[in-house]
Structure 1
């Protein structure tokens, strides 16, 4: 590597690149090439690179012109630059002047494209795995579309034969003949053809991990150049460190035809010089560069949902809920039903649209005329909590270092998972705080069931006697969802109960009216069949006969048949909220709240 490095530095200087003499380049087993200060360096210019030795789309078009069809447009992204890198690296018949630079590019890469099955399994059920699979599939299709369109204007038979052999990979891949094991072997074996998919993956990985915005070397800042990448020799040797104060001066600004790299803060002797790839999460760093950063201040996580019902999105949009793809708003229902993403970061632990959207996911038909109801908001909070708790639980699992897993990759994966877990945990705490604020704000419209049980002593005593409990306190050890159904039917039958068996809870008059109103509403709209009755038969036989026999003043007055309990359970869905943190049950008034 030392000889290759020396040839590269000589090549760069011979092509009029400037390299600060106070910099020393060294090779590190884990980090590859890196730059260190051999004396104190103040804030200053350290590299100046001519655009003529940078690899980008303009050079790609001119170099590959004999392979590109005149009737096709080849300027949609980084395809041509990727193919150029492939040709310079793997086409032994290609004569070019970039040899010393190409030779220092690493043959073995650590990007997740090259991970084996065991390593990929460590990120199963994470954003990283989902994005990795999606990106790989896009890369396959991109390569196939590009390579299939290539021609050889010089009509070399060997090129046509090689192209046909390379395209055979695509046919086998789409028919499922490449599992993770075979794919790993294919991507990690020696590359023979510059038009092969393995060459394309390597070249795109190089462009992803070492690339810079093409605007730095472009001669204009037109829109087609905004999203493209290029390779800038020397610049790409420096490793990344978040918030490193550096400055890139593009060709259009320098006025010299060169792109300039400048330190904005001094570096001490012996310290490593760093680049700054931008504010990237560990997921982005792993996907594009193959590493993760401890305590990354720019880390992020996400909740991705796929909901096919477009009406939910229509209702949410109509009530002001906003959806984004990056910074761009999305209003297209067809796009939204393909998947919607909610980003979580240290700056935004609880996206405002997340709970508002879930409110319309859980909206019941009777609430459509209300808008955003209190129950919808609380139930949305419960749904989000459940998702976050599952995320935290999944990421808490220890991932032991097993045979076949590279030690450095294992460390980076642990760093990524720990960062994700921490963000989801912080987000969960934020949701818990948000729930407390909602409960406090609407405390006069929310009624705790356990408080009602303390007041309704006749009901508590009847349950204690009927179920042969030692004391009323033992009720809390029962399944409270079942006790709630019994109490609701008891309220429904209040007019049939003796006056002395019904609690004097005048302060809860609005709640009693709400319960009775909902019984009537459900009773007039619900159709009960034998399948419904079968679902409730075990519950009914476990409680009602014994309670009616031993506490008839409460449980044998009025209508206590099976259908009434089925109706009561639907009433629960409409007006009861179960707090996720402690499973306590609360009655919730049917009111519209602020959107």
Structure 2
């Protein structure tokens, strides 16, 4: 009832000062809250709401009250806090701003908690957001807001604009000093949820952070994609909505801009289901030297990249950014691929990215709500929906990794190990004797793929395939490694046990293959490097591919 009376007083006050909204019916609904509907259908884009500048709460008013030009965005917040919580009249040039704006100020929420932003949730409720984009941003906002308030209080005290600088006090007490951090935080939340950019009314305004409050228009609910226009004409704010999209009795929506659910949650306290503007962030951490090398390589890294994190944006429109894929490929570049971006790098990068995405998805799936008696049920449902929207983006990116990898395999048609063995049936037949099977899937299950690959690469080198043989590139890769490799003591130790488990046993049992050519320990070490350079394992089905060196753009 109180809200209804406040709304009626606000509407009467605004009309008495020249506001126009004759074709809009404002009402209060349990689900929608305060909202506006169209009374009579219109056939063209006509102004639905016009608010004269006399009703605005502007930066100029803040300058006039406090006698300072900067920081104007924070002074605007302080003015709003003063109008709400100061029992003394706020005067400017002898006129009472308190009296002038009383119906509007009275309509605004009375406390931080009523605003509903995560900034004012309990610690336990905020912790429900851990593991999402919202949580670190929420913490930063709190810290930055306190720093802004502290700096402003110090400035005003130095300028002798305040007779008392309040220390930080507990949130949302029944009685607040307008100079307190809580009052400042409340004003911040109002500007987050209701303010319009000041450049609409001041073309000289360059900052996107400076806003003004415009009663009546701020009663409309938000909807992404809604076609609306905001203009300031003849010292008035003019709101128009596309007549083609609204019929009589339908709700009139505002559009704050196509915002992600993280932005909506933190700045407005709600999210949208099936939000087409939804985004999430994948943060990767690497050494500063890697970032420098990547930049030199020509990678396009997100703004703000540092050793503290590289934040790639995943969205419904671009769930798998090309810059992210290229960065992942670069991370798996071999020395033999210096200054090159190869198909092997690209596939390996996609595979490793899939692992990272799978880990993030698992984290979201394993999330559980801890027991807490004071947790607001509405907040729990809101967090569930938000986390679900974040998880769906990682899931979409994960699935796109699979389809992208499949497309690359289809496009470049690399030689699978299974097809390669068919080219050398004599070797393939001997695998049954050595390992009990020559079927690749069974070899993979037994964990014997590495042994088969090493033996096969040594075999290809000793066969010296003809130039038109599909195995020729394997032999060439071996020779390239052999010509440049420097074998270390560590290499010898790494392969020693494996080599002696196979040789000279195989040379005696299958001499027609393993006693012909070079099957030395050195040859196995060289083959191991060749495996690193040409072998790719597709984790979706475990299939092994032998890749020729293909340089991508």
**TM-score with structure 2 setting the length:** 0.84
Among 508, 515, 521, the alignment partner of 2:470 is: 508
Matched, 1:90 2:68: no
Distance 1:137 1:538 in 2: 57
Aligned match for 1:281, one of 254, 260, 266: 260
Contact 1:466 1:546 in 2 (8 A): no
Residue 124 (str. 1) matches residue 130 (str. 2): yes
Distance in 2 of aligned mates of 1:35 and 1:438:
52
2:533 to 574, 589, 594: 574
Q: Does 1:290 align with 2:269?
A: yes
Matched, 1:210 2:194: yes
Alpha-carbon contact 2:458-2:524 (below 8 Å) kept: no
Q: CA RMSD in A?
A: 3.5
1:239 to 211, 215, 221: 221
Aligned to 1:415: 385
1:263 correspondence with 2:241:
yes
Residue 246 of structure 1 and its aligned partner are, at CA, apart by: 2.5
After superposing the two structures, state which structure 1 stretch, 186-195 or 200-209, moved more: 186-195
Q: Distance in 2 between matches of 1:86 and 1:541?
A: 80
Q: Does 2:342 correspond to 1:373?
A: yes
Query: What per-residue deviation string (whole Å, max 9, x for no partner) do you get for residues 36-60 of structure 1?
Result: 3456566532322122321232222
Measured after TM superposition, the shift of residue 238 of structure 1 is 0.9
Closer/same/farther in 2, CA of residues 271 and 544 from structure 1, 3 Å limit: farther
Asked whether the 8 Å contact 1:399–1:414 carries over to 2, the reply is no
Question: Could you tell me whether the CA contact under 8 Å between 2:364 and 2:387 is conserved in 1?
Answer: yes
Within 1, Cα distance between the matches of 2:422 and 2:259?
54
Aligned to 1:347: 317
From 189, 199, 212, give the equivalent of 2:183. Answer: 199
For the residues of structure 1 that align with 2:471 and 2:438, how far apart are their CA atoms? 24
Q: For residues 431 and 8 of structure 1, do their structure 2 counterparts lie closer, same or farther at Cα, with a shift above 3 Å needed?
A: same
Unaligned runs of 5+ in 2: 91-97
Residue in structure 1 matched with residue 407 of structure 2 by the alignment? 437
Confirm or deny that 1:322 pairs with 2:300.
yes
Partner Cα distance (1:208, 1:515) in 2: 61
For this pair of structures, how many residues does the alignment match? 537
Where structure 1 has 5 or more consecutive residues not aligned to the other structure, the ranges are: 170-185, 326-333
Alpha-carbon deviation of 1:213?
A: 1.4
Output one character per residue of 1:296-318: Cα deviation in whole Å (capped at 9) or x when no partner: 22222332333333454554555
Query: What's 2:203 paired with?
Result: 221
**Are 1:316 and 1:357, in contact at CA under 8 Å, matched by a contact in 2?**
no
Counterparts of 2:226 and 2:519, CA distance in 1: 72
Question: Which has the higher mean CA deviation after the structures are superposed, 392-401 or 225-234?
Answer: 392-401
Q: Paired residue for 1:428?
A: 398
Q: Find the aligned partners of 2:88 and 2:127 in 1 and give their Cα distance.
A: 40
Show the counterpart of 1:2. Answer: 4
Partner of 1:172: none
Pair 396,49 (structure 1): closer, same or farther in 2 beyond 3 Å: same
- C-alpha change, 1:130 and 1:45, in structure 2 (3 Å) is same
- Cα 1:485–1:154, aligned 2, differ >3 Å: closer, same or farther? same
Greater Cα offset, 283-292 or 512-521: 512-521
Alpha-carbon deviation of 1:208?
Answer: 0.8
The answer on whether the counterparts of 2:443 and 2:449 sit within 8 Å (CA) in structure 1 is no
Counterpart-to-counterpart distance in 1, 2:161 and 2:106: 29
- With normalisation by structure 1, the TM-score equals 0.79
Q: CA deviation at 1:134?
A: 3.0
Aligned to 2:13: 11
CA–CA separation in structure 1 for the residues paired with 2:442 and 2:465: 19
Corresponding residue of 1:483: 449
Match of 2:95 in 1: none
Q: 1:539 to 1:193 in 2, by over 3 A?
A: farther
CA distance in 2, matches of 1:514, 1:290: 62
